[in-house]
Amino acid sequence: MKVTTWNINSVRLRIDAATRFLKEEAPDVLCLQEIKCATDQFPTKAFAAAGYPHCAVHGQGGHHGVATVSRAPFKKVDKLFFCGKEDARHVSVATEAGITIHNFYVPSGGDEPDPARNEKFDHKLRFLEEMRERMRVGPRAKAVLVGDLNVAPFENDVWSHKQLLNVVSHTPVETDALNALRDDGGWIDVAREHVPQSEKLYTWWSYRARDWRASNRGRRLDHIWVTRALKKAATGNGATAFSVSEDCRGWEKPSDHVPVSLTLNT
């Protein structure tokens, strides 16, 4: 089963890119974040025409929003809310293969990394802490957690560890929170099982760069985690099991994020 996560940054604006990706890469499940539309505005017909008729959508008009589309039907769909807010930042599906897939869009946190002065950053930290409490899984659970988690946790997940230590997405308080969420919850960071931490790895490049590829000032904000029960399924397929589709950043009207994919040997 091939699972892809992608912050599409407006699914209606980039529906052509989404369907092109589905045609070229053919994942079984595509998890989208920041769809920026209400649930009833989601382009279900376009996905059905592309061969993905099953859609679990948690939309929010003009903001946030997550959606998971699939070739095969879901056994169950759940939507969780965090921090006492009704933001559409989570949807989970139970697949016919017996695997639960959690799709998250963690708050970006604004620009100033001070929770006392920046309400958005405070919200982000509280969101991550609540995820840590609620996303704990047992050793036998078969689950995948994907999404734009908006944190680059390791030194080589950013273009300059030293210069970004006080920049939102790579501050120590954020990376500590994400690492605690992952480790305490019983999750495994698939990307760093396939790509050593000594190597640079990015999934996001700012729109501000004139030539994103030449400057290559990226960050790894998009993640795929699996439970321990799925570690062998996630790592036993060799180098081709995990991929970051960098070329999508160069497509017409691109998202600033690119798709990240994992093939599970189920």
For residue 120, the SS3 value is: helix
pLDDT digits (tens, 9 = 90+) for 60-70: 988 899 999 99
pTM of the predicted protein model: 0.97
Return the CA Rg of the chain.
17
- Residues constituting the chain: 266
Q: Work out the pLDDT band at 238, boundaries 50, 70, 90.
A: low
pLDDT digits (tens, 9 = 90+) for 121-169: 999 999 999 999 999 998 899 999 999 999 999 999 999 999 999 999 9
Q: Which domain holds residue 9?
A: 2-263
Q: What pLDDT sits at residue 209? A: 87
Q: Work out the pLDDT band at 239, boundaries 50, 70, 90.
A: low
Q: Work out the pLDDT band at 181, boundaries 50, 70, 90.
A: very high
CB 184 within 8 A of CB 132: yes
Q: How many domains does the chain have?
A: 1
Which of 105, 112, 111, 108 is closest to 57 using CA atoms?
Answer: 105
Task: Kindly provide the residue ranges of all beta strands, DSSP E only, lying in the chain, ordered along the sequence.
Answer: 2-7, 29-33, 54-58, 66-70, 74-78, 90-95, 100-105, 143-148, 187-189, 204-205, 218-219, 222-227, 242-244, 260-263
Q: What pLDDT sits at residue 174? A: 98
The residue type at 101: I
Counting Cβ atoms within 10 Å, is residue 156 exposed (0-12), middle (13-18) or buried (19+)? middle
pLDDT above 70 covers a percentage of the chain that reads 99
Q: Work out the pLDDT band at 232, boundaries 50, 70, 90.
A: very high
CB 60 within 8 A of CB 66: no
- The runs of H, that is alpha helices, within 186-230 are 190-194, 212-215
- Give the CATH number, domain containing residue 111: 3.60.10.10
pLDDT digits (tens, 9 = 90+) for 166-176: 999 999 999 99
Q: What pLDDT sits at residue 53? A: 98
Q: Which two tokens stand for residue 37?
A: 């539309």
Q: Work out the pLDDT band at 119, boundaries 50, 70, 90.
A: very high
